A and B are shown apart, each in its own frame.
Chain A
């Protein structure tokens, strides 16, 4: 009797999960379907689920008529810069804050962490003025130069370093290693999984960010995919297949990356939250 009721509960759980999962997926399915339709099919009444003869016109138009190749290059470059530097700098700082006691360390750590509480737009006007003084408005450099560090990554990595046994580094101190050598040769390899997770999180943030690219660069050749997609609307209005094709091309790299690294991605986030 108990197994029967347990089975009943199990199938209710499955039903709820399946319906919700489909609801979560609808936007992706609709994006792909619409991108393959003709302009008339996309807005036809009554509604059409599938295109008659799937066409790639949306994709070719989006690439041909906008600065799409530029958006791609700018986004890739920006994402790399906003990932490599923060990860290097943060892991260094995180190691120092976790393992080397020095005067002012808790104050300086609190100072860096407190930045996480400030709404990002608070920074934008002064950063814009800074970029303007340096003559960097409408340059690709401006897209990443303000984000070479990450308090979030510093905080997270410090948590990981705190969890590592002290004995390992004590042995290397006796061998005459300096703190940087210990960090580089011993500690970094030990937090490799955390580094992978942070690399992916940083990449995803950089790839998807909208507001700063929108503010700092207005010429199409200097836009990212995010701000570029936003301007496609004014170029293509209601040509929904082109808009959907552009949207699809913009999300594909991150989704592919997610499927490849989904284990590290999900566990990295879950694990760090658990430690925090």
Chain B
């Protein structure tokens, strides 16, 4: 063991964690407390003077039809985006886990959207989904107003989201696949197991820890959807109410309508939802994740 006397070791340890600890407390810890407080207050001049109003902001929020609509939109996005991304990422990871030519080329291509700036990607998606001169309508032979039709706007956001997320998640799942011991498959082959059965009884169970990890990251990310709504749908679009998320509503109320308290109430609800979701996932983890 380390022979340095323990007191001087402690001093070094505390010194080395100080920047990270201080930064965390000042820029994240304190803001979380502030955000919770703001939810119970009414501010003048954007937080300069604060009055305690108890649950007023939340009462107003829960009586606001728009809030429930935004909550529904956020959850709809999560429910569509997370499973589709997981399934497609798993599919591509499984396909790329075979001894196939050009593996690294595919890996790079699928990962490319991950390094692409969302703001820049959004510009091109607007052009691709345009009603009259858009490539998508041209290929499909349709004349759909994808971006301004409330029935399709959410679909566009899910497609863009999945496009951006497949690469990273495929990679995480691929890493998980490559961690499965080959001996398991060899043993199954001796027993005469079919391709599908090997997948069903070896690959899937051994992959559950990776899928769990990936789904948590995806879920937390998905509840925060903002960029693509702001950039692709836009504030004057008639389809906005059909896709407006909690984070978008937070942004709008806080920095467009200058009501930081109402904004804080909205974003605190999301914080609460994320804590619950993570809690549920960790509780369910025991039921379906298999650790060896």
Whether A121 touches B13, Cβ cut-off 8 Å, given contacts A17-B95, A30-B124, is: no
The reply to whether B17 and A229 contact each other, CB–CB distance below 8 Å, is no
Total B residues in contact with A, Cβ cutoff 8 Å:
97
Minimum Cβ distance to chain A for residue B26 (Å): 8
Minimum Cβ distance to chain B for residue A68 (Å): 13
Whether A274 touches B176, Cβ cut-off 8 Å, given contacts A25-B112, A173-B2, A250-B117, is: yes
Task: Indicate whether A248 reaches chain B with its CB closer than 8 angstroms.
Answer: yes
The reply to whether A92 and B117 contact each other, CB–CB distance below 8 Å, is no
The reply to whether B132 and A229 contact each other, CB–CB distance below 8 Å, is no
Out of B98, B109, B117, which one reaches A226, CB within 8 Å?
A: B117
Task: Indicate whether A59 reaches chain B with its CB closer than 8 angstroms.
Answer: no
**Cα A246 to Cα B127 with chains together (Å):** 14
Out of A115, A250, A274, which one reaches B175, CB within 8 Å?
A: A274
Binds A, one of B32-40, B51-59, B79-87, B184-192: B32-40
Over the window 20-34 of chain A, the binary record of Cβ atoms lying under 8 Å from chain B Cβ atoms (1 yes, 0 no) is 110011111011001
The reply to whether A251 and B267 contact each other, CB–CB distance below 8 Å, is no
The reply to whether A112 and B21 contact each other, CB–CB distance below 8 Å, is yes
Task: Indicate whether A126 reaches chain B with its CB closer than 8 angstroms.
Answer: yes
The reply to whether B115 and A255 contact each other, CB–CB distance below 8 Å, is yes
The interface residues of chain A lying within 8 Å CB-to-CB of B234 are 233
Closest-by-CB residue of B relative to A228 is B119
Interface centre among B3, B27, B100, B123 (most CB of A within 10 A): B123
Task: Indicate whether B62 reaches chain A with its CB closer than 8 angstroms.
Answer: no
Task: Indicate whether A4 reaches chain B with its CB closer than 8 angstroms.
Answer: no
The B-contacting residues of A in range 146-203, CB under 8 angstroms, are 146-149, 151, 154, 169-170, 173-174, 178-180, 183
**Cα A266 to Cα B274 with chains together (Å):** 28
Minimum Cβ distance to chain A for residue B96 (Å): 7
The reply to whether B127 and A93 contact each other, CB–CB distance below 8 Å, is no
Whether A266 touches B107, Cβ cut-off 8 Å, given contacts A118-B28, A254-B117, is: yes
Task: Indicate whether B174 reaches chain A with its CB closer than 8 angstroms.
Answer: yes
The reply to whether B111 and A266 contact each other, CB–CB distance below 8 Å, is yes
The B-contacting residues of A in range 102-157, CB under 8 angstroms, are 102-103, 105, 108, 111-112, 115, 117-130, 132, 146-149, 151, 154
The reply to whether A208 and B2 contact each other, CB–CB distance below 8 Å, is no
The interface residues of chain B lying within 8 Å CB-to-CB of A7 are none
Minimum Cβ distance to chain B for residue A226 (Å): 5
The reply to whether B270 and A183 contact each other, CB–CB distance below 8 Å, is no
The interface residues of chain B lying within 8 Å CB-to-CB of A276 are 213
Minimum Cβ distance to chain B for residue A156 (Å): 13
The reply to whether B127 and A244 contact each other, CB–CB distance below 8 Å, is yes
The B-contacting residues of A in range 45-65, CB under 8 angstroms, are 45-47
The reply to whether B96 and A43 contact each other, CB–CB distance below 8 Å, is no
Out of A45, A127, A148, A215, which one reaches B23, CB within 8 Å?
A: A148
The interface residues of chain A lying within 8 Å CB-to-CB of B76 are none
The reply to whether B267 and A30 contact each other, CB–CB distance below 8 Å, is no
**Cα A26 to Cα B47 with chains together (Å):** 46
Task: Indicate whether B75 reaches chain A with its CB closer than 8 angstroms.
Answer: no
Task: Indicate whether A81 reaches chain B with its CB closer than 8 angstroms.
Answer: no
Task: Indicate whether A1 reaches chain B with its CB closer than 8 angstroms.
Answer: no
**Cα A129 to Cα B117 with chains together (Å):** 27
Task: Indicate whether B138 reaches chain A with its CB closer than 8 angstroms.
Answer: yes
**Cα A46 to Cα B3 with chains together (Å):** 78
The interface residues of chain A lying within 8 Å CB-to-CB of B95 are 13, 16-17
**Cα A226 to Cα B253 with chains together (Å):** 22
Task: Write the residues of chain B forming the contact surface with A, with a CB cutoff of 8 angstroms.
Answer: 1-4, 8-10, 12-17, 19-21, 23-24, 27-32, 34-35, 38, 46-47, 92, 95-96, 98, 100-101, 105-121, 123-125, 127-128, 130, 132-133, 135, 138, 163, 166-168, 171-172, 174-176, 179, 210, 213, 220, 223-224, 226-227, 230-231, 234, 247, 250-251, 254-255, 260, 263-264, 267-268, 270-271, 274-275, 278
Task: Write the residues of chain A forming the contact surface with B, with a CB cutoff of 8 angstroms.
Answer: 10, 13-14, 16-17, 20-21, 24-28, 30-31, 34, 42-47, 89-90, 92-93, 95-97, 100, 102-103, 105, 108, 111-112, 115, 117-130, 132, 146-149, 151, 154, 169-170, 173-174, 178-180, 183, 204, 207-208, 210-211, 214-215, 225-227, 229-230, 232-233, 240, 243-244, 246-248, 250-251, 254-255, 257-259, 262, 265-266, 269-271, 273-274, 276
User: Could you name 7 residue pairs across A and B whose Cβ atoms are closer than 8 Å?
Assistant: A27-B113, A92-B16, A93-B17, A100-B12, A105-B13, A244-B124, A255-B112
Q: Known contacts A112-B21, A130-B31, A149-B19; can you find 5 more A-B pairs with CB under 8 A?
A: A13-B98, A115-B29, A122-B31, A211-B251, A227-B119
